[in-house]
């Protein structure tokens, strides 16, 4: 049996859960981080990469992404999954949760099966760690860019069928908690290890309190497609801001949410239950033009995606590295804080913190070498250099 490849990254500012290791070194053997050393604590062996003072970050984990570089997870094909994971890995995403759209049951069956099949073989780029069902159990009055023709009330039997056939595949389900049958689905999901998230919803404060008691623990793309804050009715937004048991996602592109509102959110969630996402659609990485999302025409102009008919935002063209940069430079969070939002907190949400989400001995060598100006120099997925 041949020896596992060993390499070192030296002279780096390494972001760990315990703090920043300045001028440190990381030893990687095979697919695993073997050790983190203070400068000069060990003699590197094998290949040595000199970081020259750049950051080493844990690989990004995007828990809400629909596609990229012309492909969509709803395509339900290996070719599309390769395209999406190749593109987003080149932008620093090392683990990805494939996200569906509101669609007919048959189309969702195809997506579930395609993700399961893809995960059954070695994945060459970003690792697809599961599936996020965004809909079809939403509120039509807050439908956003989802297709209203396919909205239905929560159907536990659908989830049961997919769960029985592919246990552990579905990681998160986004739904409107005020809809008939939602509380029963939230409870069922809680008992089967699936995270439920408030989404496309008119939920009042009372609705959110009831949902949390039944097991709701997350919310998608904060501020967007949800009942806003009012001083006499906190709504969905006010509920999420003040409920520690409910984590929140943020699209940090300067379009979906004003930087000041992100600052407010970060102050309320204290960075422990806030996640950076892209919500990227197929246009991410490509030029302006006409695209599709959930069977609807989307016009991308100046990098901003909106439904062709109307002004509704339709996902984004964001990448995780650009969202990371925005949170540091425009919102004012520290690199260490944003690393939690982009890696540590997503791993915690998914129950995968033992293997990914931070830089520590024994974890997967999902590593990013990033310049002080936030340009990606190298991307490693389980010790393999992707870029």
20-55 tens-digit pLDDT: 999 999 999 999 999 999 876 677 888 999 999 999
Q: Rounded distance, CA 13 to CA 138, Å?
A: 43
Phi, psi angle pair for 341, to nearest 5°: -65, -35
Angle between the 235-242 and 259-269 helix axes, to the nearest 10 degrees? 50
**Other Cβ atoms within 10 Å of 153 Cβ, number:** 13
Q: What is the pLDDT of residue 255?
A: 97
Q: Rounded distance, CA 178 to CA 208, Å?
A: 8
Are 95 and 84 in contact by the 8 Å Cβ rule? The answer is no
The answer to whether 315 is annotated as binding is yes
The answer to whether 350 is annotated as binding is no
Q: What is the pLDDT of residue 1?
A: 47
Helix (H) or strand (E) holding 325: helix 320-326
Q: What is the pLDDT of residue 43?
A: 75
The answer to whether 313 is annotated as binding is yes
- Going from the first residue of the chain to its last (387 residues), give the mean pLDDT of each consecutive group of 10, the final group possibly shorter: 83 96 95 90 83 97 98 98 98 98 98 98 98 97 96 98 98 98 98 98 98 98 98 98 98 98 95 94 97 93 94 96 98 98 98 98 98 97 94
pTM beyond 0.85: yes
The answer to whether 295 is annotated as binding is no
Q: Rounded distance, CA 103 to CA 75, Å?
A: 12
Kindly list the structural domains of the chain, giving each domain's residue range(s) and its CATH number in brackets, ordered by start. 6-57+362-385 (2.30.40.10), 60-350 (3.20.20.140)
Are 285 and 291 in contact by the 8 Å Cβ rule? The answer is no
- Which residue is associated with the tokens 């430079």? 329
The answer to whether 351 is annotated as binding is no
The answer to whether 256 is annotated as binding is yes
**Other Cβ atoms within 10 Å of 157 Cβ, number:** 7
The answer to whether 198 is annotated as binding is no
Pseudo-torsion of CA 49, 37, 46, 50, nearest 10°?
Answer: 10
Helix (H) or strand (E) holding 97: strand 93-99
314 class by beta-carbon count within 10 Å (0-12 exposed, 13-18 middle, 19+ buried): buried
pLDDT one-digit tens code per residue, 105-128: 999 999 999 999 999 999 999 999
The answer to whether 225 is annotated as binding is yes
Nearest to 363 by CA among 6, 1, 59, 63: 59
Any idea which residues carry the catalytic annotation?
279
């Amino acid at each position: 049996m041949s020896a596992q490849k060993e390499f070192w990254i030296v002279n780096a500012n390494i972001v760990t859960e315990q703090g920043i290791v300045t001028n440190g070194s990381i030893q990687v053997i095979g697919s695993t981080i073997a050790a983190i050393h203070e400068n000069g604590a060990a003699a590197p062996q094998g290949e040595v990469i000199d970081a020259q003072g750049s950051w080493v970050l844990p690989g990004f984990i995007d828990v809400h992404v629909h596609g990229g570089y012309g492909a969509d997870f709803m395509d339900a094909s290996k070719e599309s999954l390769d395209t999406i994971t190749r593109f987003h890995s080149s932008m620093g995403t090392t683990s990805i949760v494939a996200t569906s759209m509101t669609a007919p049951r048959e189309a969702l069956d195809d997506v579930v099966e395609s993700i399961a099949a893809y995960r059954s073989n070695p994945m060459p780029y970003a690792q697809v760690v599961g599936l996020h069902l965004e809909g079809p159990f939403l509120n039509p009055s807050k439908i956003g860019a989802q297709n209203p023709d396919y909205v239905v009330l929560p159907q536990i039997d659908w989830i049961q069928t997919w769960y029985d056939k592919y246990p552990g595949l579905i990681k998160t389900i986004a739904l409107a908690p005020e809809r008939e049958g939602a509380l029963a689905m939230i409870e069922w999901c809680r008992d089967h290890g699936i995270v439920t998230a408030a989404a496309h919803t008119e939920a009042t404060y009372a609705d959110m309190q009831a949902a949390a008691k039944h097991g709701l623990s997350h919310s998608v793309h904060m501020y967007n497609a949800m009942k806003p804050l009012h001083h006499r009715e906190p709504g969905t937004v006010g509920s999420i801001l003040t409920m520690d048991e409910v984590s929140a996602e943020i699209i940090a592109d300067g379009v979906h949410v004003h930087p000041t509102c992100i600052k407010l959110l970060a102050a309320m969630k204290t960075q422990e239950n806030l996640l950076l996402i892209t919500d990227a659609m197929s246009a991410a990485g490509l030029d302006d033009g006409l695209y599709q999302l959930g069977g609807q025409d989307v016009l991308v102009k100046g990098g901003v995606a909106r439904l062709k008919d109307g002004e509704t935002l339709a996902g984004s063209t964001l990448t995780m590295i650009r969202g990371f940069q925005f949170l540091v430079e425009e919102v004012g969070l520290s690199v260490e804080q944003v690393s939690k939002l982009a890696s540590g907190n997503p791993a915690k949400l998914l129950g995968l913190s033992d293997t990914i989400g931070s830089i520590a001995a024994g974890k997967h060598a999902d590593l990013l070498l990033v310049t002080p100006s936030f340009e990606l120099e190298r991307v490693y997925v389980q010790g393999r250099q992707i870029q």
